[in-house]
Amino acid sequence: MVKERSSSGVVDDFFLTLSPQVAGRTPERFHPALVMNAQFLPDNAPWLNLLSVKRAGDHLYLRYGVRAGKET
- Give 68 or 31, the one with higher predicted confidence: 31
- In angstroms, the CA 49 to CA 63 distance is 9
Q: Is the pLDDT of residue 5 over 50?
A: no
Cβ burial, residue 66 (10 Å; 0-12/13-18/19+): middle
Task: Give the mean model confidence (pLDDT) for residues 65-71.
Answer: 69
Q: What is the pLDDT of residues 12-62, one digit of tens each?
A: 888 999 999 988 888 888 878 778 888 888 888 888 899 999 999 999 999
Confidence of residue 70 (pLDDT cuts 50, 70, 90): low
